Structure formats: structure tokens, C-alpha cells
Amino acid sequence: MAENVIEARGLLKLYGSQRAVDAIDLDIQRGEIFGLLGPNGAGKTTTILMMLGLSEISGGTVNVLGFNPVREPLEVKRRVGYLPDAVGFYDHLTARENLAYTARLLAIPRSQSGRRIMEALESVTLADVADKRVATFSRGMRQRLGIAEIVMKQAEVAILDEPTSGLDPHATFELLEMIRGLKRSGVAVLLSSHLLDRVQSVCDRVALFNKGKIALMGTVVQLANQVLGAGHPILVEATGTDVAAALRGIEGVQNVAAEGDAWRVTADRDVRAAAAQRIVSAGGSLTRLADLQPSLEEVYTRYFQEARHAA
Amino acid sequence: MPPSAAHGALRRAGSPFTGLGPVFMKELSDHLSSVRMSVLTLFVIAFGALPVAFALQDLRNVVISDPYLFLRIFTVAPERVGLSFIVALNFVIPLMAIGLGFDSVNSEFNRRTLSRVLSQPIYRDALLLGKFLGGLATLAVALVALWLIVLGSGLLLLGLPPRGVEVARGVGFLIVAIAYGGVWLAVSMFFSVIFRSTATSALCALGLWLFFLILWPMIASAITLGFAPTQITSIDQYTSLQELGLALQRLSPGTLFSEAVVGLLNPETRTLSFVLPIQMRGAIPEAPLPLDQSLLLIWPQVTGLIASMIVVFAAAYVVFQREEVRA
Ligand SMILES: Nc1ncnc2c1ncn2[C@@H]1O[C@H](COP(=O)(O)OP(=O)(O)OP(=O)(O)O)[C@@H](O)[C@H]1O
Ligand SMILES: [Mg+2]
């Protein structure tokens, strides 16, 4: 079967005359982490609900693992794990009982379910509170329990809606680590977020949503190139020579700007090796050489500034 | 896309009942272990036991050779309470059903569990039906327990076992009571689908119940009076007017329940429609009907109850299918 686990073509959602999702095309590939990014109300949740067959589709098609979520929602939902925005569990049940209920809905044989539940809880480090009622769980623990549900389900695709919203930095870090863990076990992950700097570190590709349309799609570097027009920014700190002149002479360098004691170099490719060689051969001593990832935050802000200007 | 996709989109693959069993089991065990259920049980026992206890005392003192002595426990209104067991149940069953159903769907919204559960391989059909059947089974458990208590105390205090027909009529009563509970369970679930706030849905269900209990009889008689000519000139006119009043009354599930129960537990009941005293001439008074005749008599009432349960549930289902899952 194709390498795409999710394929949307002209996917459309109308609320009255409002186009909440406006004819988007989207491909999610097997084994990747894909980020749906966009401001509030951009249509991320709506897109996700249509993929799961939980919301009616107004137009276009969507195909999840070869199944049509409108016609075969049970097949889709058997294979796709979903962590809703602000996930809820039955407070009067324990973590284990909550997962046991899901296991029964999934028709997991009783002989396997106990083991699969425990393994899933271990993978999100909730094994020691397995028999505590969920009422006592923090936001982060609930979110992790949601991930455990997906692990137990042995889903091929995980769809996570705002998985890190409302989490402190440490909990966010842990959760992103678990999302990486899902990817390592071969699960394709689709996550939506507006916490850009966090998402940037885990996503292989992202799509930038704006008013129901996909404005930009690709890897973070591709987007940065498209929006900021800058390829690979690096930071160089060196002494003992005319650093700026040495750096400007390197092929592909577009701009060199002073940033405190250091220099910020913008080039259309990774020029770290060339820069190091140039400075050393010019007799300078290199004290720092850092790869500056283009920040998605910057891309995002700049893009929406431009979109507003254009409007 | 295969060409069949366009019209195929109307058909859903997979059984609509996938996952019904787990939902039913969870609802049942949730209900049975909940504090709310204990409160409702206490309530039922208090309301049910009091009339029964007094009725038993009365029946013990007045020893008459009554072939249906056992059934009198249910129907006799003791002097000191003025409330028979079946009249008490006419109050208690709706309250219990509403207590079980008023938050069944909207609480899943509010706890934000609905979208997570519906993202498992299950249709909304199975979720709603599982919740309904779970509530109905809980109701049945409570009513059967109550019934057994009544039967047991009758056995102890009257000192004689019930006859087979009496037990059969008692079982029939149990089934009618469960169907009556089902109507109000469906009503309260309907409101729990419509309103996101559990307080609002509880209020609406209770309001409707009070409406049928208190206001509807008045409205029905007002309507009947409105149709009445200034002077009633014939017996036919009088009869048809009474029949109109009765028909309006029967729109209330409580009326259907009490008619069916009277037909079952009072074997002497020969008709449930309006009769002129003159028509009774010739009929042997006090001669009990055989069970099959009684069943025939109450059949319209029972089907009425079951049909309204199904109609209300279907309405809840239609609304629920169209609802957005996001909280
Ligand atoms: N039930 C509804 N009826 C009408 N409009 C709706 C409904 N649900 C969502 N919308 C509209 O659809 C648009 C997209 O909403 P959606 O929830 O998909 O956005 P989102 O990208 O997930 O936003 P957020 O980051 O706030 O979660 C919004 O403009 C919203 O107002
Ligand atoms: Mg959203």
C-alpha cells in the first residue's frame, strides 16, 4: 500500500456559510511526525475530526490507511489513536479501569488486555499509579494516560490535538519524548498545536493553517526559506582576525551581521565547515560556532504579518 | 476513488451494535456501584415499604376468603397511609428513571470523555443504546428486588404462599413497571442529549413529569369541557365526551401505567374504558377475569407504553447523531 497513511483531497467543512476547512490537500506519510499549526479557529480540530469520521464532511475526500472515514469509520477508528484536546477520563475509575474499558470497546481479548494495559502504562511512567483514581491525576498525567491508550491500542496512526497545551515545560518535554517514542515504534503522528518552538523540535514536516486553508507546508527549514528567505543561519564567535571580512568571502553567504561579540551569518546552505576553515587559516581563533535553527516562531509571526499586510 | 464511493457514502460499514456489550456492562456497573443508586434505592424502599407494611397489617386483621389476597398487598390503600403500593410506584418509578438518565450523555460531554470514547470503534447507536439498556437493567434490578421484598414479606406475614396465577400477574406487573420506567428513562436521556447542562436536563425531565402528574389532568378536563355542548341531550353525547377525556388522559404515561396495573392486579377489572352503570347490568360483579382476558384488556396500554418509550428513544437518537462531538 501507499506510503501515505492519510490523504486528504479538497477536504471541505462548512458551518453555514463559513468555510471552517477550505478545500485542503494533505498527505501524512508513514512513520513521520506531522504538525498542524495555526492560530485559534484556523480549522485544525475540524480537520482532525473529519479524518476520524467524527464530523461530517461537506466536500472532498479523505482516506485514512486505505479506509474512508465516512463509510468505514469503525475500520479507521480501530487503527487510529486519538488524543482529543483536553482529554477526559472517568474520574471515579482508576487508570487501569479506564484503559480496560477502552480495551473492551476495542475487543482486545481478555488474555492480552491486562498485559497490554500494564505495558502501555509503563511506557508513559504511570505504572505506579495504575490503581489510583483518575480524579487525583494532574493535567500532565491525564495527557500521558491518553498516550498510554494509544500505545495500548497499537495504533498505526496517532492523532494528537494540542497535546502540550496547559502543560508545564518539564511535562511538555516528557510528553514530546513520548511522542518521539511513538514514532520510534513506527507510528505516524499527526499533532496540532500553536506552541511553535516545542513542536518544531519534534515535527518532521508541518503545515501552517490560516483561516481554513493550508498556507505553507514542508519541513521547518523549507518554510523558513520560503518565508524568511534565509537558508542556514549560523553564529560565529572568533578573535584575532577581521572575522566579518573572512566570513563574507565564503561562497553562499548572503549576509553577515554583528550580534554582540559574535557574528550572525546567513547563507543558502550550511557553511559551518567553510567558516571554521576560513577563520583558522586567516590566523584567527574560533571560540564558538553554532547552528542557528530557523525558528518556526519567526516564520509564523512573519508569515501572519505579511498575510495581514496583504489583506 | 472507486465510482461506488459517491452513493456508497450513504452506507456505513460494520454493525451498529459493535461495542454495545462493553457500554452496557459499564453503565450497569457504574449505576449499581454509584452513591446515587444507593440514595434512589433508599427512596424506593421508603416509599414502597410503607404502604406495603400497613397494607399487610390491614389484610392480616381482616381475614376474608379472598382468592387474590396476595395481589391485594399491591393494590390496597391502607387506612393510615392512604396510598397504595402501586400509586406509590407511580411516583417513584419516574423519579428513579429520571435520576438514572438525566445526565447520561451530557455528563460525557462535560467530562470530555465523549470524543475519546467515540474515537474507539463504536457507532453512536451502540453508545446510546448501551446507556439506555444499562439504565433499564439497573431499574429492573431495583424493581425486581423491591418486588421480591414485597413477596417475601407477604409470605411471612400472611403465612400463606401466593398461587400460581397471582405470581404470574405479579410478574406481568413487574414487566409493565419496567416499561413505564423505560419511558421516563428515555425522556430523561432525550433531555440529556439536548442540553449540555445536567441541571437543565434534570429540571426539564422533572418538569415534564410534574406537568403530566398535576397539570395534565386539569388541562384534559378543561379541553373536554370546552368540547361539551351547553346541554347534554343524549347518552351518546355524554359517553363520547367521557371517552374524549379518557383519551386525553391516556397521553400521560402515568395513566397508561395505572390502567395496566389495575387491569393486572385487580382481576375483577372488566373494562378500562368509560362505562355507564347501565351497561354493567348483566355482568357478574366481582367475578374475576381469567389471566388471558386481563392481558387482552391491558394490551393497548402496554403497547402504548412500549411504543412511547421507542419513539422518545428514537428522537434522542436522531438528535444525538447530529450533535458535534467536540466539547
Ligand atoms: N459547531 C460549530 N458550529 C459553527 N462553527 C464552528 C463549530 N465548530 C467550530 N466552528 C468554527 O470552525 C472554525 C474552526 O474551528 P476549529 O476548532 O477547527 O479551530 P482550531 O484550529 O482547532 O482552533 P483552536 O486552536 O482554538 O483549537 C472556527 O472558526 C470555529 O468558529
Ligand atoms: Mg482545536
Query: Which residue's alpha carbon is nearest to atom 31 within ligand 1?
Result: A41
- Taking the CA of A36 as reference, the closest ligand is 1
State which of A200, A218, A236 marks the end of a domain.
Answer: A218
**Residue B274 has what pLDDT?**
65
Cα gap A92→A133, rounded to integer Å: 6
**Residue B232 has what pLDDT?**
74
Residues A114 and A257 in one domain: no
Residues A143 and A239 in one domain: no
Residues A121 and A82 in one domain: yes
**Residue B57 has what pLDDT?**
80
Domain for residue A98, yes or no? yes
Candidates B25, B120, B122: best to mutate against A (most CBs of A within 10 A) is B120
Its pTM stands at: 0.88
**Residue B63 has what pLDDT?**
60
Q: Which domain holds residue A100?
A: 4-218
Cβ-defined contact of B9 to A71 (cutoff 8 Å)? yes
By Cβ distance, the residue of A88, A101, A149 closest to B22 is A101
H or E segment to which residue A309 belongs: helix A296-310
Residues A241 and A108 in one domain: no
Asked if residues A55 and A12 have their Cβ atoms less than 8 Å apart, the reply is no
Domain for residue A302, yes or no? no
Domain for residue A304, yes or no? no
State which of A170, A198, A218 marks the end of a domain.
Answer: A218
Domain for residue A258, yes or no? yes
Cα-flanking dihedrals φ and ψ of residue A10, to 5°? 60, 30
Nearest CA in chain B to A97: B26
From residue B263, give the alpha-carbon distance in Å to each of A80, B94, B284.
55, 20, 17
Question: Total domain count for chain A?
Answer: 2
ipTM (interface pTM) = 0.86
Residues A150 and A281 in one domain: no
Domain for residue A307, yes or no? no
Task: Identify each DSSP E strand in A211-274 by its residue range.
Answer: 213-218, 232-239, 253-259, 262-267
Cβ-Cβ contacts under 8 Å for A191 (sequence gap 6 or more): A33, A34, A35, A36, A159, A160, A161, A163, A179, A199, A202, A203
- Taking the CA of A14 as reference, the closest ligand is 1
Cα gap B227→A25, rounded to integer Å: 65
- A120 C-alpha vs ligand 2 centroid, how far in Å? 26
The answer for A 67-126 residues in CB contact with B (under 8 A) is 68, 70-75, 77-78, 80-92, 101-102, 104-107
Residues A147 and A231 in one domain: no
**Residue B295 has what pLDDT?**
86
Residues A214 and A234 in one domain: no
**Mean pLDDT of each 10-residue bin along chain B, 327 residues long:** 42 84 95 91 82 82 72 79 84 93 94 94 95 96 90 84 87 94 97 96 96 92 83 79 85 91 82 63 65 85 95 96 83
Domain for residue A309, yes or no? no
A37 touches ligand 1 (CB under 6 Å)? no
CA distance B4 to chain A (A): 11
- pLDDT confidence tier of residue A19, bands split at 50, 70 and 90: very high
**Per-residue pLDDT tens digits for A62-118:** 999 999 999 999 999 999 999 998 899 999 999 999 999 999 999 999 999 999 999
- A43 C-alpha vs ligand 1 centroid, how far in Å? 6
Cβ-defined contact of B116 to A75 (cutoff 8 Å)? no
Cα gap A153→A80, rounded to integer Å: 8
Residues A198 and A239 in one domain: no
Residues in A touching B326 (Cβ below 8 Å): 45, 49, 55, 84-85
The answer for A 25-64 residues in CB contact with B (under 8 A) is 45, 49, 52, 54-55, 61
Residues A213 and A236 in one domain: no
Domain for residue A301, yes or no? no
Residue where the block lists cell 433499564: B136
% of chain A with per-residue pLDDT over 90: 58
**CB-based contact, B2 to chain A, within 8 Å:** no
- In the structure grid, which three cell numbers stand for residue B107, read together? 455528563
Mean pLDDT computed over A287-306 = 78
Domain for residue A289, yes or no? yes
State which of A218, A243, A259 marks the end of a domain.
Answer: A218
Cα gap A141→A144, rounded to integer Å: 5
Residues A67 and A153 in one domain: yes
Cβ-Cβ contacts under 8 Å for B202 (sequence gap 6 or more): B98, B102, B103, B188, B191
- A192 C-alpha vs ligand 2 centroid, how far in Å? 8
Residues A253 and A153 in one domain: no
Task: Give the nearest ligand 1 atom to A48 CA.
Answer: 18
**Residue B283 has what pLDDT?**
55
Cβ-defined contact of B122 to A68 (cutoff 8 Å)? no
Nearest CA in chain A to B8: A71
Task: Give the nearest ligand 1 atom to A47 CA.
Answer: 18
Cβ-defined contact of A87 to B112 (cutoff 8 Å)? yes
CATH number at residue A291: 3.30.70.100
Cα gap B173→B89, rounded to integer Å: 11
H or E segment to which residue B117 belongs: helix B114-118
Mean pLDDT computed over A42-64 = 93
- In the structure grid, which three cell numbers stand for residue B110, read together? 462535560
Residues A180 and A114 in one domain: yes
